[in-house]
Amino acid sequence: MEIQATLQRHFGHTAFRGGQEPIVRALLEGRSALAVFPTGGGKSLCYQLPALLLDGLTLVVSPLIALMRDQVDALTAKGISAVRLDSTLDAEQLREVYQQLDSGTVKLLYIAPERFANEAFRQRLKRLPIQLAAIDEAHCISEWGHNFRPDYLKLAKLCRRLKIPRVLCLTATATPKVARDIRKSFRIAAADQVQLSFHRANLDLCITPCSAVERKGLLLEKLRAVAGPAVVYVTRQETAEEVATFLAKNGLPARAYHAGLPAEFRAECQTAFMTDATRIIVATIAFGMGIDKANIRAVFHYNLPKSLENYTQEIGRAGRDGHHSRCEMLACADDLTVLENFVHADAPSPRALGNLIDRVLRLGPSFDVSPYELSTLCDIRPGVVATVLTYLEIDGIIESRTTFYATYRIKLLRPQEKILAGFGPAERKFIQKLLAAGEMKRWWLYFYPSALVETLQCSREKIVSTLNALHTAGVCILSVWGVRRAYQIKKSPGDLHALSAALVEKFHSRELADLARLKQVTGLSSQRGCLTAYLTKHFGEVLAQPCGHCDRCRGLPAKILKRPKSRRASDVEIAAVRSLRDEKHAALNTPRQLARFLCGMASPAATRARLTRHSAFALLADLTFADVLAIAEAA
């Protein structure tokens, strides 16, 4: 009765939605659980309701700041005590959150997985009465999932160290293999996995094979035939801009949305769409996570998605109100080269991996590193650097201690004597010494806390807390940057060459898995049977009968996507490659670096050297990576 009463009192529901009740009861009985619910399936209530019934704190791990903010605001509006810790909070807001946690009044704490890298935060968590951990987007823990995030890989071990009695993993896109990974990591019994059907009867799946030339015209025609809000997904930021401009010039209210836009532009764009001021959003996958708009009538894939998991998540944003919605993929085989090249661009070379391992594990028993600097020095993408460091942690070779900023700068808003007048004698003396130690550049005083420890004969913490205190007092503007992560060697890594070789094999396996996922996407077009059944089978669900509302069920024939015939690089292009090689750029020193550059994939080193402005950048972007690599090796 208490469950039903709480459900109605706080959430306004008289009954559970499908799958929610067995999850809630498992958690209240002290067992961990896995909820595999499609997008919009009501995952949040599965931990929010138990959080109110359990005597203690519920820790919610989510990768999206916007989603955390929305959830906390919604819970607070319901009178439920919820807080969040994320990078947008200032020092005063952080202090307030910690005071609330220490008082024991908070029921739900939302955090990003990266916050666990801070040892002080982990120690603080040990003092809190955590009764439940909810892991959102739990498929991110699996190396074989479509959206692997290295910080997720450490969560299961952290939950055990914190002795959290029960864990709820939530995801909308777990294949049977990924679900097994999640259950194994968090020791969840198979009986406590609840999976809802991925079949949404109101979504019509359409696959329209087309050429690159006719694609824009097709999209325009189909959007004109659809009434109501629509989302068009593309692969690249420049494509989002190009397609949105094309639609707008042809009389359709469309706007582009991608990660390259300033945050205020993205926020304005999202608000315009949510309030129906803009009908069509042309977006990269940066748009949609946490978007809860019930009346999206169509989702178009202008470019092929990277995986069936991405595709399912993206079409799941349509028709959440239960009304008919169209989900159409304009399947163009020309996209395959770009998507495959993205996969190859992420795969580090054996030489680069060896360089990274060597740099990190020869720094001494305790060390700190800048992931950004490592990325540039070794020419490995930041996400791959983070993954390597995580693998070393999982293997027990290193342990993260804390995360900190290397550089602080302040702009004083008052004369120094007036600032000092607001503090006691001891504080005044230290602040005076600290300000004198700052390096003036234009109107800003720069501080490098780690380097100032010896100069000021004090701890780094005291320097940082004093700068934060000045900011909180309103006497200066403070900004920070240059994230560094501190680690400690826990055991000997052994043979570094053997360790590097093992990592090379891991990344090669992931590269092959990503290419296989892309092949599954093209399989939709050539699928002769029910498209919905093909999709649900991918997630381990067998439909009893064809859906009756997809292209195949309507009698439209399957079509194999055929790549356009690969062209050969011209003599002029070969000459341009040789000329580029002769320029001897350090960032393009190896054939693989050169090939990535010619395919239009900006590497960290090339970006830092500002080579992406070079006329040869993306010169051979329409060729396969293997062909371009052969040209680079012969240059």
Return contacts of 559-564, CB within 8 angstroms, 24+ apart: 559/209, 559/525, 559/526, 560/525, 560/526, 561/209, 561/331, 561/332, 561/333, 561/336, 561/522, 561/525, 561/526, 562/333, 563/333, 563/334, 563/336, 563/337, 564/333, 564/334
Average pLDDT, the chain: 91
Percent of the chain with pLDDT over 70: 98
pLDDT digits (tens, 9 = 90+) for 172-224: 888 999 999 999 999 999 999 999 999 999 999 999 999 999 999 999 999 99
Mean pLDDT on 538-559: 94
DSSP labels, 323-386: S-EEEEEEE-TTHHHHHHHHHHHHSPPHHHHHHHHHHHHTS-SEEEE-HHHHHHHHT--HHHHH
203-335+523-538 folds as Rossmann fold (3.40.50)
Q: Is the pLDDT of residue 431 over 90?
A: yes
**pLDDT tens per residue across span 394-412:** 899 998 888 888 999 999 9
Residue 275 has φ and ψ, to the nearest 5°, of: -95, 10
Give the ranges where 379-530 is alpha helix by DSSP (H): 382-394, 416-421, 425-437, 449-456, 460-472, 496-526
Q: Say if CB 147 and CB 309 are below 8 A apart.
A: yes
Q: What are the residue ranges spanned by the domains of the chain?
A: 2-195, 203-335+523-538, 400-486, 571-634
The answer to whether the 2-195 and 203-335+523-538 domains have the same CATH topology is yes
Higher-pLDDT residue of 124 and 498 is 498
Percent of residues, the chain, with pLDDT higher than 90: 65
Q: What pLDDT is stored for residue 144 in this prediction?
A: 65
For the cut 90, the answer to whether the pLDDT of residue 602 exceeds it is: no
Q: How confident is the model at residue 286 (pLDDT cuts 50, 70, 90)?
A: low
Contact 16, 7 (CB under 8 A): yes
- Tell me the fold of 2-195: Rossmann fold (3.40.50)
- Tell me the whole-structure pTM to 2 decimals: 0.84
For 28-77, the pLDDT digits (tens) are 999 999 999 987 778 999 999 999 999 999 999 998 777 888 899 999 99
Q: Beta 230-233 vs 280-283: how paired, if at all?
A: parallel
pLDDT value of residue 518 = 93
Q: Which residues contact 140 (CB under 8 A, 6 or more apart)?
A: 63, 113, 147, 148, 149, 152
